[in-house]
């Protein structure tokens, strides 16, 4: 069985050619637009991120792609959403507004797992917070409507993509409607946007109306009460009203939606919202290798827009010297949005394309000689695909590696090993590191890859993500059991010794994931102690819209079995789980003690070798408790002062909103 993939991204450059270097970024001001001799633009990209002309940033990749298609593109970065004036910067766009909240969901960008305001924004100049609104897609689309009525509004990016259907919203603790109903966009492009966006813009330029674009793959749209939804090859999901009232129906909706994500067999989805209907077409087809080479070989400056001056953009500093060699992930982890957004099918660049980008980096006088990362969502899935396309076209499995690695999955690391060797031998390159996460169960299948990785591509530490040790929690996560991590750890240490190097793994674990209770977290803490791990960074589970784990968190059900799942919902319970991950920190002493007493595990308090904490609190713990008590008294006084009418609103105070509540 052969599958024809219609290409909307014609190849204009040979894949082996090094990427061209752009002389200037896309215009961000009217003056820059006029410098190019333009009196109008075709597409205005509105983004919640600072404009960085680097292929790791969506507005740059999509903007440059449309530019090479012959369209005039301008970037409206982090506009003041309090009025629509910023949306008139370039005049009325000839074709459309293309709108995204940025590389992250704006709510995850703004708030911690404890719903506290973050201290910085990695995608803003200087890390400054407050340069985009909550639920940025809604505000940006509404301002575009105000600025120029009749101009098509196309929403995309992670925020819009993962909220295309009714979804659980952690920050309001409610089930919200499809984002289409609230943002009023004409279309939502979900998933990676190259194919749909190029076709949308070409067809609008050809005179078609935005309503005529509803046949496109990778788009969602809404129908009014008088419009009949399509019925052919379509599945009707439980309505918004039903999933709002019935958690079992919400779980069923999640199950159906995730089984319809393979672009080769996915059916159209519809969901009623009162008198309106949201329609989600099948996903766009993945890009071929030649198409991947094209989009990553476009002429980028690889730098932030000059208007930012010397202000650092933290997210750019992380990726500026990195090379993305692939996209997508077939891991299917239930807490991760990568598979839901980028797809389960791996899309890889050619070796020539990757090496061409590295050569471009070495030509920059500021390049240190160190490629900070050569990878992607997962570092070692490069060029891995199902070996039977006719089976892949029918498959609805959500993970190719859980509960076991599929026998049809091609797991050959040979092409990746060759690419890594070639990259580190490029003139001007001192070191090529792997900073993306490693899929350990795959890596263990290739001793050659392990030798190459450990000998040449680890800068002393390697990030891995076992996430937990409890079998039930790992099963709900769709992660391999703890022996996989321990086996990888042994092989990593053995390979490091053979290479004459002293290197360490940095394992990442998640607290408060669905299924994780105090008993399982205590076992994780004991595992860490017995294996001499002291994680500096730990993750608190955040339910992200559309994710399977978010469904578990909201409903208390596994959507595929409908069996109950334990959920740590209260912030106080989540604090205890997080403290257990760092039981060794003095400031966590009282939280860890409370968790152990609550679980009836006082045997772990004392001086025995297995004890997590001592019987008596350390001085640092007492000092921290004293400071917390003083802070609480001060906050109470300030709250009383405000409620009495003697205090006032002070916007410079970071926590004013939380304290007022």
The 10s digit of each residue's pLDDT in 40-92 is: 999 999 999 999 999 999 999 999 999 999 999 999 999 999 999 999 999 99
- Give the integer Cα–Cα distance in Å for 40 and 66: 15
The backbone torsions φ and ψ at residue 507, rounded to the nearest 5 degrees and listed phi first, read -85, 140
pLDDT value of residue 626: 85
- The fold of 321-454 is Transcription Regulator spoIIAA (3.30.750)
- What are the residue boundaries of the structural domains of the chain, listed by start? 30-224+276-280, 321-454, 460-617, 620-660
Q: For the domain 460-617, what is the CATH code?
A: 3.30.750.200
Is the per-residue pLDDT at 372 higher than 70? yes
pLDDT value of residue 8: 52
Q: In which residue are the tokens 């639920």 written?
A: 135
- Give the integer Cα–Cα distance in Å for 417 and 420: 5
* Chain mean position to CA 198: 23
- Give the integer Cα–Cα distance in Å for 526 and 613: 11
* Residue 2: DSSP 8-state: -
Structure confidence at residue 647 as a pLDDT band (50, 70, 90): very low
Three-state DSSP class for 112? coil
Structure confidence at residue 226 as a pLDDT band (50, 70, 90): very high
Report the run of H or E that residue 575 belongs to, with start and end.
helix 571-581
Query: Mean pLDDT in the chain?
Result: 92
Within 8 A by CB and 6+ apart from 88, the residues are 147, 148
Within 8 A by CB and 6+ apart from 12, the residues are 68, 294
- Give the integer Cα–Cα distance in Å for 260 and 344: 12
Structure confidence at residue 94 as a pLDDT band (50, 70, 90): very high
Three-state DSSP class for 497? helix
Is there a common fold for 30-224+276-280 and 321-454?
no
HEC sequence for 425-449: CCCCCCEECCCCCECHHHHCCCHHH
pLDDT value of residue 11: 43
pLDDT value of residue 651: 39
Helix axes 589-598, 518-530, angle to 10 degrees: 120
Does the model's pTM come out above 0.75? yes
- Looking at domain 30-224+276-280, its CATH class is alpha beta
Find the DSSP H helices in 478-559: 482-498, 518-530, 548-555
The 10s digit of each residue's pLDDT in 116-152 is: 999 999 999 999 999 999 999 999 999 999 999 999 9
Section 414-441 average pLDDT: 96
Q: Are the C-beta atoms of 432 and 372 separated by less than 8 Å?
A: no
The backbone torsions φ and ψ at residue 76, rounded to the nearest 5 degrees and listed phi first, read -105, 100
CA-based nearest residue to 193, from 349, 60, 79: 60
Is the per-residue pLDDT at 16 higher than 70? no
The 10s digit of each residue's pLDDT in 243-262 is: 999 999 999 999 999 999 99
Section 339-350 average pLDDT: 94
* Residue 189: DSSP 8-state: E
pLDDT value of residue 635: 63
Structure tokens, 567: 């959920």
Q: Are the C-beta atoms of 108 and 542 separated by less than 8 Å?
A: yes
Instruction: Return the percentage of the chain with pLDDT > 90, whole number.
Output: 87
Three-state DSSP class for 234? strand
């Amino acid at each position: 069985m052969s599958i024809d993939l219609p290409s909307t991204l014609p190849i204009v450059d040979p894949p082996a050619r090094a990427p061209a270097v752009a002389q200037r970024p896309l215009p961000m001001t009217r003056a820059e637009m006029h410098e190019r001799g333009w009196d109008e633009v075709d597409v205005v990209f509105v983004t919640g991120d600072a404009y960085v002309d680097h292929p790791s940033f969506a507005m740059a990749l999509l903007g440059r792609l449309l530019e090479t298609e012959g369209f005039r593109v301008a970037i409206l970065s982090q506009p003041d959403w309090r009025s629509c004036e910023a949306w008139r910067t370039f005049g009325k766009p000839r074709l459309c507004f293309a709108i995204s909240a940025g590389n992250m969901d704006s709510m995850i960008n703004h708030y911690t797992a404890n719903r506290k305001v973050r201290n910085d924004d990695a995608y803003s100049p200087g890390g400054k917070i407050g340069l985009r609104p909550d639920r940025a897609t809604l505000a940006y689309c509404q301002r575009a409507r105000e600025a120029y009525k009749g101009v098509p509004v196309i929403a995309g990016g992670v925020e819009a993509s993962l909220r295309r259907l009714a979804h659980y919203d952690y920050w309001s603790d409610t089930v919200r409607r499809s984002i289409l109903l609230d943002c009023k966009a004409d279309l939502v492009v979900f998933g990676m946007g190259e194919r749909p966006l190029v076709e949308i813009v070409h067809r609008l330029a050809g005179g078609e109306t935005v309503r005529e674009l509803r046949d496109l793959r990778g788009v969602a749209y809404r129908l009014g009460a008088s419009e009949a939804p399509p019925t052919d090859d379509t599945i009707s999901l439980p309505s918004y009203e039903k999933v709002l009232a019935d958690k079992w129906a919400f779980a069923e909706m999640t199950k159906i939606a995730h089984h319809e994500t393979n672009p080769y067999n996915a059916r159209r989805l519809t969901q009623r919202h009162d008198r309106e209907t949201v329609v989600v077409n099948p996903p766009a087809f993945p890009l071929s290798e030649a198409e991947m080479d094209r989009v990553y070989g476009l002429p980028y400056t690889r730098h932030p827009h000059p208007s930012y001056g010397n202000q650092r953009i933290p997210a750019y500093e992380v990726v500026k010297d990195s090379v993305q060699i692939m996209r997508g992930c077939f891991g299917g982890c239930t807490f991760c949005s990568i598979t839901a957004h980028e797809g389960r099918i791996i899309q890889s660049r050619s070796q020539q394309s990757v090496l061409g980008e590295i050569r471009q980096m070495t030509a920059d006088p500021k390049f240190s000689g160190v490629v900070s990362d050569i990878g992607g969502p997962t570092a070692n899935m490069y060029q891995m695909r199902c070996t039977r396309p006719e089976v892949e076209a029918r498959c609805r499995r959500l993970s190719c590696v859980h509960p076991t690695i599929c026998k049809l999955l091609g797991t050959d690391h040979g092409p990746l090993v060759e690419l890594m060797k070639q990259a580190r031998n490029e003139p001007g390159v001192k070191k090529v590191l792997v900073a993306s996460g490693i899929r350990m169960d795959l890596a263990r299948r290739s001793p050659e890859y392990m030798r190459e990785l450990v000998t040449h591509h680890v800068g002393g530490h390697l990030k891995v993500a076992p996430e937990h040790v409890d079998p039930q929690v790992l099963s709900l996560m769709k992660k391999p059991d703890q022996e996989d991590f321990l086996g990888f750890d042994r092989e990593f240490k053995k390979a490091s010794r053979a290479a004459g190097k002293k290197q360490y793994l940095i394992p990442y674990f998640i607290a408060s994931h669905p299924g994780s209770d105090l008993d399982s977290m205590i076992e994780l803490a004991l595992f860490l102690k017995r294996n001499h791990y002291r994680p500096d960074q730990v993750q608190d589970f955040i339910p992200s819209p559309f994710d399977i784990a978010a469904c578990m968190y909201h409903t208390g059900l596994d959507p595929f079995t409908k069996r109950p799942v334990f959920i740590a919902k209260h912030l106080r319970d989540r604090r205890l789980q997080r403290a257990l991950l760092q039981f060794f920190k003095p400031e966590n002493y009282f939280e860890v003690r409370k968790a152990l007493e609550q679980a009836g595990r006082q045997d772990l308090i004392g001086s025995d070798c297995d004890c997590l904490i001592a019987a008596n609190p350390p001085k640092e713990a007492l000092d921290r408790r004293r400071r917390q008590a003083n802070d609480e008294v001060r906050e109470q006084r300030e709250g009383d002062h405000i409620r009495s009418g003697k205090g006032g609103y002070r916007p410079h105070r970071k926590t004013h909103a939380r304290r007022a509540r």
